[in-house]
Amino acid sequence: MARQTRSRRTREAGDAPPSRSRVEQQQELRRRKAAAEAKTQTGQRRERQGGFRTFVGECIAELKKVDWPGQRQLFTATVVVLIAIFVVGLYLYIADEAFSRLVKNVLLGG
């Protein structure tokens, strides 16, 4: 017979120590997380700062870092998008005409 661990022997003997319910364990975990201090990815402690002004200031700082396209690049991208729209629209028009004629002439016998 395989050797039983102490916890299994205790459980089988009927005098197992009372265990906390799953709900109590989850509540304890939530309390610990709430009590933990917020840290940055580098592990430094982060002081709670908030408010609308801070948010707007950080947004402006991030938008200054963006590499905005020049006029030539913007024009080229616009032309590419318009050509793609035209090609897809033409494809959908041809497919619609073909299927509508198929339905009218073949399936409806018209």
* Amino acid, res. 85: I
- Note down the domain range covering 103: 70-110
pTM above 0.75, yes or no: no
- Per-residue pLDDT at 35 exceeds 70: no
What is the residue whose two structure tokens read 């039983």? 4
- Per-residue pLDDT at 26 exceeds 60: yes
In a domain, 18, yes or no: no
From CA 79, how far away is CA 74, in angstroms rounded?
9
Q: What pLDDT does 63 receive?
A: 94
- Per-residue pLDDT at 18 exceeds 60: no
- Per-residue pLDDT at 13 exceeds 60: no
Domain count, the chain: 1
Q: What is the mean pLDDT of residues 81-94?
A: 98
Q: Contact at 8 Å (CB) between 97 and 90?
A: no
In a domain, 36, yes or no: no
In a domain, 65, yes or no: no
